């Protein structure tokens, strides 16, 4: 990719004023879709994403049901007004692919054997996009799944890292994604310490790859703390911590 | 009293470490017991478990549920029990073994839209739940106000040995039938009593995990001061968390299944 301008200035600030290892501001609201069994709204910098989870529920069409475990169906969709130029509301090749990778990133965390012949539906609606929407979508969907009371081995947190002006930076935004050197979204189960999604668009040498992965995982851990506090806030309010009898 | 350790967890959190038995809503990962749901942990020498605070109803054999008749085939009714599986009530359960689709009119017994209290007779991973209404206090519910709460709040609504629900019934002069699937029927003589009971039930649903809930419910229901004070001592231990009866052995399940105004099952 040809770089037309410098994305990091002399003082080490990026296009949106962050330093190289800084995440955008992340906020998560749990339970905002009352009709859904579980839901979350994530604000990841300028990204605004709603994730809603329904289920376990009956599988239609019935032939999709599996007799030994539940099925997960995921829909990642960008609203027509989520980008600068209108996006057609019909599912694009990109959205179909992202739906698939998000499903595969979340499946390892779900204990699907507990829900034979049932389906878990995950809807991720991008209201406003600014790069890194698949990572933000995964993080929101994971919170929504926990809110829906689906049995999970661990939460899934996601964050991207990449190469900007030959430096490894965490949480790539839209400009850095388009004009930068590489973009690597990672989804991670923080307690089990396992990676469930790893994609890479661009070129990295082995050293850069390792640094990039470490940075992305560090970003995931920061996102996990926010996921955790948002769930704790919704379910336990001020009564945090532990009590013994 | 047995020592019980409690803490708030989300999926992936460690509930306990060491050689412990995983009970419900947890799994074993190496030497630690890990939570699979959002909830309150409970660990003692029997093992470790999580009492969940969210989730929809998943059927279990012997649960008492309230369902709505959706349709019937020539051999059974299909019933919506607020879960991911439609339950079936075999016609033989009502007409007896000599049931014949040619001679017996199923529509006369139960028609679409009727609400029934039933017990889940058979359920396993391979088939849909089969219901039965051949037990005391089971069958069609003629009148009442139907409300839905989260199934995870049902044990708290019932309280230890039915204490919470009896308080509500007594104060509002209503009869409350609770299904473990989170569906509740409130039937009362007057509108005021029914509204009061419904408000109290919604309050339990919202504040299920908070302390001193029984006392606040009594204040809402205008139970005399003297009764609140005398009960405060005995109810304190109940109030610290969601009642754990919901995920214990079958005996407890039956006890909390359905309780009528006279306190009997």
Boundaries of every domain in chain B:
8-52, 64-140, 145-257
Tokens of A81: 């007004």
Residue A144 confidence (pLDDT): 98
Residue B182 confidence (pLDDT): 95
Q: Does A60 touch chain B (CB under 8 A)?
A: no
Residue B218 confidence (pLDDT): 86
Q: What is the mean pLDDT of chain A?
A: 93
Q: Please tell us whether the domain made up of B145-257 is placed in CATH 3.40.630.30.
A: no
Q: What is the pLDDT of residues B170-195, one digit of tens each?
A: 999 999 999 999 999 999 888 999 99
Residue B123 confidence (pLDDT): 94
Residue B234 confidence (pLDDT): 47
Tokens of A150: 């689906």
Q: How far is CA B214 from CA B156, B237, B256, B258, in A?
A: 10, 11, 17, 19
Q: What is the pLDDT of residues B38-57, one digit of tens each?
A: 999 998 888 999 999 999 99
Question: Is 0.80 topped by the overall pTM?
Answer: yes
Answer whether B8-52 and B64-140 agree in fold. yes
Count of C-beta atoms within a 10 Å radius of residue A39: 24
Helices (H), B173-222: 191-206, 213-220
Count of C-beta atoms within a 10 Å radius of residue A108: 18
Mean pLDDT within A219-223: 97
Q: What is the pLDDT of residues A178-211, one digit of tens each?
A: 888 899 999 999 999 999 999 999 999 999 999 9
- Using a 10 angstrom Cβ sphere, with 0-12 exposed, 13-18 middle and 19 or more buried, the burial of residue A203 is exposed
Note whether B85 contacts A117, CB cutoff 8 Å. yes
Q: Does B244 touch chain A (CB under 8 A)?
A: no
Residue A241 confidence (pLDDT): 52
Mean pLDDT within B105-127: 92
pLDDT for B237 beyond 80: no
Q: For the packed helices B163-172 and B191-206, what is the interaxial angle rounded to 10 degrees? A: 150
Tokens of A85: 């130029």
pLDDT for A236 beyond 70: yes
Q: Does A38 touch chain B (CB under 8 A)?
A: yes
**Residue A189 in contact with residue A182, Cβ under 8 Å?**
no
Of the candidate ranges A163-177, B41-55, B209-223, B243-257, the one whose mean pLDDT is the lowest? B243-257
Residue B150 confidence (pLDDT): 92
pLDDT for B257 beyond 50: no
From CA A22, how far away is CA A109, in angstroms rounded? 27
Residue B61 confidence (pLDDT): 93
Across the interface, of B13, B36, B210, the residue whose CB is closest to A151 is: B36
Chain B residue whose CA is closest to A228: B10
pLDDT for B242 beyond 70: no
Which runs of E-coded beta strand occur in chain A? Answer: 26-30, 38-44, 47-58, 71-78, 118-128, 157-164, 167-170, 182-189, 194-198, 201-202, 242-244
pLDDT for B239 beyond 90: no
Note whether B54 contacts A38, CB cutoff 8 Å. yes
Residue B210 confidence (pLDDT): 77
Mean pLDDT within A142-147: 98
Across the interface, of A55, A147, A153, the residue whose CB is closest to B12 is: A153
> Which CATH number does B64-140 carry?
2.40.50.140
Q: Rounded to 5 degrees, what angle do the CA atoms A57, A62, A67 make?
A: 75
Quickly state the pLDDT bin for B244 (edges 50, 70, 90).
very low
Residue B215 confidence (pLDDT): 85
Q: Does A144 touch chain B (CB under 8 A)?
A: no
Which CATH number is A26-236's, of 3.30.230.70, 1.10.510.10, 3.40.50.300, 1.10.3720.10?
A: 3.30.230.70
Q: What is the pLDDT of residues B130-183, one digit of tens each?
A: 999 998 889 999 999 999 999 999 988 998 889 899 999 999 999 999 999 999
Residue A116 confidence (pLDDT): 93
Note whether B85 contacts A244, CB cutoff 8 Å. no
Q: Which of residues 58-87 of B touch A (CB under 8 A)?
A: 58, 84-86
Mean pLDDT within A7-15: 90
Note whether A191 contacts B34, CB cutoff 8 Å. yes
Q: Does B56 touch chain A (CB under 8 A)?
A: yes
Boundaries of every domain in chain A:
26-236
CA distance A227 to chain B (A): 10
Quickly state the pLDDT bin for B236 (edges 50, 70, 90).
very low
Quickly state the pLDDT bin for A55 (edges 50, 70, 90).
confident
Q: So what's the architecture of B8-52 in CATH?
A: Beta Barrel (2.40)
Task: Provide, as residue numbers in chain B, all residues whose Cβ is less than 8 Å from the Cβ of A57.
Answer: 84
Note whether B52 contacts A149, CB cutoff 8 Å. yes
Q: Does A147 touch chain B (CB under 8 A)?
A: yes
Q: Does A62 touch chain B (CB under 8 A)?
A: no
């Amino acid at each position: 990719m040809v770089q037309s301008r410098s994305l990091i200035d002399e003082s080490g600030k990026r296009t949106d004023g962050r330093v190289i290892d800084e995440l955008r501001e992340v906020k998560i609201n749990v339970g905002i879709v009352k009709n859904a069994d579980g839901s979350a709204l994530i604000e990841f910098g300028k990204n605004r994403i709603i994730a809603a989870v329904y289920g376990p529920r009956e599988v239609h069409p019935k032939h999709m049901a599996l007799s030994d475990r539940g099925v997960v169906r995921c829909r990642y969709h960008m609203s027509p007004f989520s980008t600068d130029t209108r996006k057609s509301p019909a599912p694009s090749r990109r959205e179909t692919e992202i739906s698939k990778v998000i499903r595969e990133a979340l499946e390892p965390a779900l204990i699907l054997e507990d829900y034979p012949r049932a389906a878990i539906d995950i809807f991720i609606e991008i209201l406003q996009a600014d790069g890194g929407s698949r990572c933000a979508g995964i993080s929101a969907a994971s919170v929504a799944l926990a809110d829906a009371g689906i049995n999970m081995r661990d939460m899934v947190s996601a964050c991207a890292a990449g190469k900007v002006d030959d430096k490894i930076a965490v949480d790539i935004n839209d400009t850095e994604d388009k004009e930068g050197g590489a973009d690597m979204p990672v989804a991670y189960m923080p307690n089990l310490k396992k990676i469930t999604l790893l994609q890479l668009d661009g070129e990295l040498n082995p050293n850069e790859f390792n640094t990039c992965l470490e940075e992305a995982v560090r970003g995931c851990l920061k996102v996990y703390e926010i996921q955790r506090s948002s769930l704790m806030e919704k379910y336990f309010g001020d009564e945090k911590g532990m009590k013994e009898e | 009293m047995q020592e019980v350790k409690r803490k708030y967890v989300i999926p992936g959190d460690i509930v306990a470490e060491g050689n412990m038995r995983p009970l419900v809503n947890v799994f074993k990962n190496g030497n630690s017991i890990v939570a699979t749901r959002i909830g309150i942990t409970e660990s003692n020498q029997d093992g470790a478990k999580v009492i969940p605070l969210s989730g929809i109803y998943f059927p279990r054999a012997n649960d008492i549920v309230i369902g709505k008749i959706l349709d019937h085939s020539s051999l059974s009714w299909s019933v919506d029990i607020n879960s991911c599986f439609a339950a079936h009530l075999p016609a033989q359960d009502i007409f007896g073994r000599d049931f014949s689709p040619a001679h017996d009119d199923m529509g006369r017994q139960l028609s679409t839209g009727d609400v029934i209290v039933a017990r889940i007779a058979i359920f396993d991973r391979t088939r849909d739940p089969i219901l039965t209404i051949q037990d005391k206090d089971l069958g069609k519910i003629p009148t009442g106000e139907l409300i839905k709460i989260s199934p995870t709040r049902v044990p708290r609504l019932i309280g230890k040995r039915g204490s919470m629900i009896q308080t509500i019934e007594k104060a509002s002069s209503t009869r409350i039938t609770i299904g473990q699937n989170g569906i509740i029927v409130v039937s009362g003589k007057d509108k005021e009593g029914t509204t009061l009971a419904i408000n109290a039930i919604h309050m339990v649903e919202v504040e299920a995990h908070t302390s001193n809930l029984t006392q606040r419910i009594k204040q809402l229901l205008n139970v005399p001061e003297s009764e609140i004070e005398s009960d405060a001592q005995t109810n304190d231990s109940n109030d610290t968390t969601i009642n754990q009866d919901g995920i214990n052995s079958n005996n407890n399940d039956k006890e909390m299944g359905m309780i009528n105004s006279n306190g009997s099952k």
